Amino acid sequence: MPDTPAWPSPARRFSPPARYCAANHFRHFTRGRYALGEAFRLAGIGRQGALLAPAYHCVTMLDPALALDAEIHLYPLQADLSPDPMALERLLGTIQRPVKALLATHYFGIAQDFSHLKAWCVDHGIALIEDCSHVLLTEHFRAAGTGIHGHFVTSSPYKFFACDDGGLLYAADAQRLDPVATTPATLIEELRGLKNAVERSRGRTLPSRDSASIDERLELLSATKLDWGNDQLIDRDGPSSLFSIASATTSSLRSSRFVVDHSSIDENIQRRRENYQRWVRTVAAVPNCRALFPLLPADCTPYMFPLHIDHPNPHFHWLKHLGVPIWRWDEMADSTCEISCDHRLHLLHLPCHQALTEGQMDWMTAALEKTLRHAVEGVQ
């Protein structure tokens, strides 16, 4: 079996292709975070083995390592969110405990070239764990340039399909996964998953408001003293509430795998790219922001649209109060990476998933444009 076998072309609706290689190269989990935790464990992460992780991260990327009581070192990133090789080398020289693994992430569905990073890891005897949680990667399909460098590869198929759960662990060397054992979901969990999958397939709802109501609410919000909350970094010595030890070895639902296998990849890619490009066109003429990746690669399936805003206080909070479904990673661990420190509060994640309707995109783009054009006190 070759080290980097080629995945087949995109799946068609109701006709899933054969796996690109044998099923023993995969293990299924309820979430990508648990697949990641198993990859950490297999790589030797724990009290005796340290992890190198990207400074820009969500809590669930570090939770599995914290659950293993591991020492974590955050490496700096460059402007395109690729690892800074010189900073990485300097950081490695300061670590006393053996470094067993490096976590590298393809952010927002845009593939990074990790070929040099893999060579660096091999030279230093470090396992490369390729995080494809923002990438369209299943047993039958992978986005170009992803899933080919890591000794272990993890993904979160449920983020791209209307299913209730789904995390995937892959290894080109199937023997690496021999120690992995998962527990199947119960019948009750399967039935609950089917119910949730049906509800998800009906689409997601957003507030039904016209442009006039956005203007009215922005005027009210700008005249109201809002609580910005606590933007301070939080030190943690254990996993967050999003990580469940009880769920760490549970296999994903059979219904979820059925949905992934029988959904149209072509339609998924097309709709996500259209919505992403819609965001790019919208923000091109809007002040106080910039698209982090305005040029979408031809072979890319975006997960979210990353938007850098100039004034998170108040614009982020106004958007949240309006009901725009946006996210940011403001609970990151502390680091010296300037890019990550900036993105923690300034980088928004906007939805571009395939289930969004034209009306929902119209409302969200209008809300974003009106909010970012709205005057901020003390700013000319």
**What CATH code is carried by the domain that includes residue 297?**
3.90.1150.10
Tell whether 331 is covered by a domain: yes
* Domain match, 135 and 40 both: yes
| 66 shares its domain with 166 | yes
222 and 126 belong to one structural domain = no
The answer to whether residue 251 sits within a structural domain is: no
Q: pLDDT band for position 22 (50/70/90)?
A: confident
Q: Is the residue at 266 inside a domain?
A: yes
> Are 267 and 368 part of one and the same domain?
yes
**Residue 123: per-residue pLDDT:** 97
- Judge whether 250 lies within some domain: no
Residues 42 and 157 both lie in one domain: yes
81, 144: one domain: yes
pLDDT band at 66 (very low <50, low <70, confident <90, very high): very high
Q: How far is CA 144 from the centre of its chain?
A: 17
Lowest-pLDDT range of 95-104, 154-163, 193-202, 250-259: 193-202
Domain count, the chain: 2
Across the range 263-285, mean pLDDT stands at 95
Q: Kindly state whether residue 1 falls inside one of the protein's structural domains.
A: no
pLDDT of 329 reads: 96
Rounded average pLDDT over 187-204: 77
Q: Report if residue 160 sits inside a domain.
A: yes
Asked, for residue 379, whether it belongs to a domain, the answer is no
**What does the mean pLDDT of the chain come to?**
89
* Mean pLDDT within 58-86: 96
Residue 179 banded pLDDT, cuts 50, 70, 90: very high
Residue 206: per-residue pLDDT:
58
CB 65 within 8 A of CB 248: no
Cα(41)–Cα(29) distance, rounded to whole angstroms? 15
Dmax (CA) of the chain: 64
pLDDT of residue 224: 84
DSSP 93: T
Q: What pLDDT score does 299 carry?
A: 86
Rounded percentage of the chain residues whose pLDDT exceeds 90: 74
Residue 194: predicted pLDDT: 81
Q: Which DSSP letter does residue 251 get? A: P
**pLDDT score, position 8:** 42
Same structural domain, 163 and 226: no
* CB contact at 8 A, 49 and 178: no
Tell whether 157 and 64 lie within a shared domain.
yes
**151 and 268: one domain?**
no
- pLDDT at residue 124 tops 50: yes
Specify whether 161 is located in the same domain as 277. no
What percent of the chain has pLDDT above 70? 88
Judge whether 3 lies within some domain.
no
Please report which confidence band the pLDDT of residue 316 belongs to, taking 50, 70 and 90 as the band edges: very high
Where in the sequence is the domain holding 69, given as residue range(s)?
A: 23-177
For residue 164, what is the domain's CATH number? 3.40.640.10
- Count of CB atoms situated within 10 Å of the CB of 196: 17
Find where tokens 């969990």 sit: 189
Contacts of 75 (CB under 8 A, 6+ apart): 52, 53, 54, 55, 83, 84, 87, 88, 91, 102, 337
Q: 110 and 217: one domain?
A: no
Question: Model pTM?
Answer: 0.91
The pLDDT, as a whole number, for residue 3 is: 41
3-state SS class at 122: helix
The reply to whether 168 and 279 lie within a common domain is no
